[in-house]
Amino acid sequence: MIDAFLIAHPFVVVAVWAALYTSDYYLTLWGARLYKETVSTYIDFDGSYELEQVFKKDIDALRWISPEWVYQLGLSSSVLMFCWLLTVRILEVPELFLVVVGAYVLLEAVVHTRHVSNVVLFRTLKTRGAVEGRIKYARWVTDRVSKAQVLAFALVFIVCFAISAKIIFLGGALGCLLNTLRLARQARRRRMTATSITPTPHS
């Protein structure tokens, strides 16, 4: 069973996580490059292509090696190993480790679907006649759309858990729901900020 394998081989879990986290960064970099080179002519995301504040400078600079990314990868991998030690070795509740694995890995898989979608769209927009005009999204709109996408996957994982009773899907649902709440708060904060600095038209 996959559950027993993941519990017995935490280093495999960390390796999978590291691979996903790495491809996440470089897919973001690819999307940012396409956005800068072509797509920004047609679409303005009201700031950086990168949604995560800690990576904005590196992604905006199209930096292939990011010290922040290395640090975050090391930190998150260490947290995974600590969770395995705590839940499997100390508490002897391995199901909790599967929840953590689902929250990490399945949420990252969701992020990958967004990256792939963006890259396909951006490459398509390079085709002559594929797009006309220009649109600018307020930053909070991007956050709200991302929230809706992640929430949809949370519901999918809940259904998968209900059908299969696999704990890892429960973890994926929880990870997505937490991310949804974070994006909702972020969108609300940015919308309030944008509203407060928008000048009131004179009658």
Residue 170 in domain: no
Instruction: Work out the pLDDT band at 199, boundaries 50, 70, 90.
Output: low
- 36 inside domain: yes
Longest CA–CA separation in the chain, Å: 69
Residue 52 has pLDDT above 90, yes or no: no
Residue 152 counted as domain residue? no
Per-residue pLDDT averaged across 30-47, rounded?
Answer: 92
Report the chain's mean pLDDT, rounded to a whole number.
93
CA distance 180 to 143: 9
Cα-trace Rg, the chain: 19
Q: How far is CA 77 from the centre of its chain?
A: 16
Q: Is 43 helix (H, G, I), strand (E, B) or coil?
A: strand
Q: How far apart are CA 77 and CA 109, in angstroms?
A: 16
What total number of domains does the chain contain?
1
187 located within any domain: no
Distance CA 32, CA 191 (A): 23
User: Does the residue 155 lie in any domain?
Assistant: no
Percent of the chain with pLDDT over 90: 76
Q: Is residue 191 part of a domain?
A: no
* 44 φ/ψ angles, rounded to the nearest 5 degrees: -115, 115
Domain that holds residue 47: 2-138
pLDDT at 203 exceeding the cut of 70: no
201, pLDDT greater than 80: no
Non-local CB neighbours of 172 within 8 Å, separated by 6+ positions: 102, 103, 105, 106, 107, 109, 110, 153, 154, 157, 160
% of the chain residues with pLDDT over 70: 96
How confident is the model over 168-180, as a mean pLDDT? 98
Residue 80 lies in a domain: yes
pLDDT for residue 190? 85
Q: Is position 126 within any domain?
A: yes
Residue with tokens 């002559």: 128
